[in-house]
Amino acid sequence: MNKRVWRQLVIMPFLMAMTLLCAGFSCSESGQKNDEVEVRTARLRMVEQQLRQRGIRDERVLQVMADIPRHLFVPPAWRSSAYTDSPLPIGEGQTISQPYIVAFMTETLELQGTETVLEIGTGSGYQAAVLSRLAKKVYSIEIISELAETARTRLTALGFTNVTVIVGDGNAGWPQGGPYDAIIVTAAAPRIPQALVKQLAEGGRMVLPVERGKEQDLLRLWKHRGKITQEDLGPVRFVPLVGEHAT
């Protein structure tokens, strides 16, 4: 085989194959980078338009919600909607709350970073992840074991190591982890669960949706010198808190 034939039959096809292979690699790499940039852009837009422009002021809350990959807390079929202004299905007939509601409830807890927090209604684990970046320790109770297991695995994989997910009925709280500086209930209760009030620390606050006939109101409670004061933060819409409601 002379040099010219050798170049045409062997070297040129080899170089072309290598070029295509490299182009393929850099294409998929840059495609991945483009996806990451797109998701981050959507998240920052969510923070500006849905949170800051609607009155969320706590910079720590805004920063945490700009950082946490909400799209990894929803089923793959809903990922492209993860940064929209609405709750989304997470399976078992349950939902991840609208970003604004997560931010608003978190802000009302006025966390400084030293607190032990109890969440009732782990769901996807997203609210627990947000709390975990703003408090020292988070206990989160979920009544549906499949959701609890998925959330636990997800939180561990994403490095939220100060969250403990517990399967159980949140109406009874989790006395083992208390008293709590802050309690957040992410499902609507027919009335304020007294076990949770008992597990609030002195100076502690609790935010929860409570049914009022066919409506629901978001309440914030404070415990000062053993006495409870209560504020009404306005109407909301949550899935119901199920389980054993004490009278």
Which positions touch ligand SAM (CB under 6 A)?
Answer: 94-97, 120-121, 123-124, 126-127, 141-144, 147, 169-171, 186-187, 238-239, 241-243
Q: Which is nearer to ligand SAM, 121 or 178 (CB)?
A: 121
N residues, the chain: 247
- 3-class state of residue 243 by DSSP: coil
Residues labelled as active-site residues = 97
Q: Which is nearer to ligand SAM, 39 or 163 (CB)?
A: 163
* Nearest-approach distance from CB 81 to ligand SAM, in angstroms: 14
Burial class (CB in 10 A: 0-12, 13-18, 19+), 1: exposed
85 token code pair: 């202004």
Q: Which is nearer to ligand SAM, 42 or 242 (CB)?
A: 242
Amino acid 196 reads: L
* Nearest-approach distance from CB 171 to ligand SAM, in angstroms: 5
**Phi, psi (5° rounding) for residue 124?**
-80, -20
* Nearest-approach distance from CB 65 to ligand SAM, in angstroms: 12
Tally of helices (H runs) and strands (E runs) in the chain: 7, 9
* Nearest-approach distance from CB 72 to ligand SAM, in angstroms: 12
Q: Are 106 and 130 in contact (CB under 8 A)?
A: yes
Phi-psi region of 72 (alpha: psi -120 to 50; beta: other; left: phi over 0): alpha
Q: Which is nearer to ligand SAM, 94 or 116 (CB)?
A: 94
**What CA–CA distance (Å, rounded) separates 112 from 131?**
11
Burial class (CB in 10 A: 0-12, 13-18, 19+), 135: buried
Shortest CA distance to 68 belongs to which of 119, 123, 127? 127
Q: Which is nearer to ligand SAM, 169 or 217 (CB)?
A: 169
* Nearest-approach distance from CB 225 to ligand SAM, in angstroms: 29
Shortest CA distance to 83 belongs to which of 95, 72, 94? 72
Q: Are 115 and 131 in contact (CB under 8 A)?
A: no
* Nearest-approach distance from CB 200 to ligand SAM, in angstroms: 17
Q: Which is nearer to ligand SAM, 33 or 191 (CB)?
A: 191
